[in-house]
Structure 1
Amino acid sequence: MLWGILVALAALYLGALILLYTMQRKIVFHPDPALAAIADYPAPRGLETVTNRTADGLDIVSWYLPPARPDGRTIAYFHGNAGHHGGRVERIVPYAAAGYGILLVGYRGYGGNPGDPTEEGLYADARAALDFLQGQDVKADRLILFGESLGAAVATQMAIERPARAVILEAPFASILRSARQRYRYLAFDALVRDKFDTLSKIDRIGKPLLLIHGDLDRTTPAYFGRMVFDAAKEPKQGFFPAAAGHNDLMQHGMPARVLAFLESLGDGEG
């Protein structure tokens, strides 16, 4: 009897592991595949559609606003795991109003773009987007990498690979594995995680001024993950942890003003 119970429990556990492995990308990525249209959003004047070819042959649509500032500073904005880039228009309005150029980076499988999202796929999309900005004569010392939630992992990877003036991370997690262990304590193993997005292991390699923002009331990605990333990062760095903010309401808790102050503090020299 006891042996039978143990076998049944082992089978259930193995089944749970297999289910988690096969379903994990549906857990990590929540794309809105509907075609994103600028006209559907309160977009800044001048925002336009651009298409970038990735190294693996996909044509990925992003939205681009050329800089109005004399210094040409431009923000490459990497959004989170849900929705698509169109849903981030309101988030970039304060920076556009200050004259910053904006590239709302599109991902494969999101917003009408072809393909299916994976970690390496999103990195390929990000590289194509940054190649586009380079073609627009956005110099490295004028490029700001801004990552939101899952996009913070993408921004971190790009900060390792590409020169840039600064990096801004909004509500980052430490890694998919650490987040999975928070929710599936006895099921999450590194070997089973297909898309690692391991920001914590990379953050000390970015070598650029960093602003990290995380709400203390974040229940989606608890703030202790953001603090782990911040503590592991090298100077120069600034942290902003508003006590009353959660995951999706940082705009209402001082984030735009803090971002603009950070950007103005960078001065005119190269990072």
Structure 2
Amino acid sequence: MPYWLHICIVIFVAYVVISIALYYLQDYMLFKPEKLPKDFEFYYENQDIKEYNLETRDGAIINGLLFKPKTESNGVVLYLKGNSKSIKGWGKFAVDFTRHGYNVLMVDYRGFGKSTGRRSQKAIKRDLQVIYNKLKEKTTEDRIVLYGRSLGSGFAAKLASMNHPKMLILDAPYYSLTKVTARYAPFMPLSILIKYPLPTYKWLKYVECPIHIIHGTNDKLIPYKTSIKLSKVNPKLTKLYTVIGGGHKNLNNFESYHEMIHDILNNNPEKIDLSTTSIHVKHSSKKSSNKA
């Protein structure tokens, strides 16, 4: 056997082995869950909470917490968290919404916290739709805000595309999870291998409510340019908010982030009469000739 052919076979076999490993190990690489015992008791100082457990049709249990505001409720924020830990740690962010009079419902995906069940993209999407339907039994859709953080941004976009919430807020979103993983494995056929493609850009096309995208300029995991690209998918309904110097995990440490959340949740913009603006004024690039 020629030496060059031997090398090609070795490379091909290695490529196949790595591809198989990526397919079966991606759950361990993508998700960093924190599992909690069934009898774990949640506690947050100065927070009024209520715990819920939802049994799905396949027997899984989805655990969630409802954080209640101290004032009359303005609605509910369904907060879809990132890919690490559990709502035990994520619960501290609920105050950013309860302070504005919103209930906040946080849930753990399958395999996170107290939630059980076999995880898949289809199963998580189905779970979240069931939860959304439960919210609709308690309130009207014009009082439901979808907030997706990092991993949760794709699921939030999918929910918004299939329902009619008051608004969709995406925090450090990705164009698609396939694009994110491609940065670390550029030569692998990820469009075939990845079990969680989460094409946020596809789902945003069908969203009919206001879309607010928040992203930090110093995000090393999901670059800021991703949100610029996403903001062009459904531009008439989308506003992009930039946290100068913000990274992937520290936006809540910036005053500007909290100002943005305040403006998004409390602002009631009036319809602008564009006929009174310069929107249709055309500027010529040609120099006019002056005749004597």
Q: Same fold (TM over 0.5)?
A: yes
Runs of 4+ in 1 over 3 A off after TM superposition: 66-72
Alignment of 1:73-152 (within 5 A): 73-135=75-137, 137-152=138-153
Aligned twin of 2:279 = none
**Contact conserved, 1:216 with 1:223, CA < 8 A, in 2?**
yes
Q: Deviation of residue 189 (structure 1)?
A: 2.9
1:10 aligns with 2:17: no
Structure-2 change in CA distance of 1:198 and 1:105 (3 Å) = same
Q: TM-score, normalised by structure 2?
A: 0.85
Q: Which runs of 5+ in 2 are unaligned?
A: 271-292
User: 1:188 and 1:179 mapped to 2: Cα distance?
Assistant: 13
Q: Deviation of residue 65 (structure 1)?
A: 2.5
User: 1:54 and 1:163 mapped to 2: Cα distance?
Assistant: 23
**Contact conserved, 1:28 with 1:81, CA < 8 A, in 2?**
yes
User: 2:30 and 2:81 mapped to 1: Cα distance?
Assistant: 14
The residue matched to 1:49 in structure 2 has which SS?
strand
User: 1:50 and 1:105 mapped to 2: Cα distance?
Assistant: 9
User: 2:58 and 2:234 mapped to 1: Cα distance?
Assistant: 32
Q: Over residues 207-242 of structure 1, what are the superposed CA-to-partner deviations in whole Å (9 max), with x where a residue is unaligned?
A: 110110111111121222222212212322211121
1:205 aligns with 2:206: yes
Aligned twin of 1:62 = 64
Greater CA deviation, 182-191 or 47-56?
47-56
User: 2:122 and 2:71 mapped to 1: Cα distance?
Assistant: 33
Q: Over residues 173-225 of structure 1, what are the superposed CA-to-partner deviations in whole Å (9 max), with x where a residue is unaligned?
A: 11121112111000143121211111011112111101101111111212222
Counterpart among 38, 45, 53 of residue 42 in structure 2:
38
**Contact conserved, 1:219 with 1:247, CA < 8 A, in 2?**
yes
Q: TM-score, normalised by structure 1?
A: 0.91
The residue matched to 2:59 in structure 1 has which SS?
coil
Q: Over residues 30-77 of structure 1, what are the superposed CA-to-partner deviations in whole Å (9 max), with x where a residue is unaligned?
A: 1111246322x44x4321101123243322110013455546311000
Aligned twin of 1:256 = 258
Equivalent residues, number: 265
Q: Over residues 230-264 of structure 1, what are the superposed CA-to-partner deviations in whole Å (9 max), with x where a residue is unaligned?
A: 22123222111212100000011222221121111
* Aligned AA (2:85): G
Alignment of 1:235-250 (within 5 A): 235-250=236-251
**Contact conserved, 1:106 with 1:125, CA < 8 A, in 2?**
no
The residue matched to 2:63 in structure 1 has which SS?
strand
Query: What is the Cα-based RMSD across aligned positions, in Å?
Result: 1.9
Largest Rg, 1 or 2: 2
User: 2:90 and 2:41 mapped to 1: Cα distance?
Assistant: 12
* Aligned AA (1:263): L
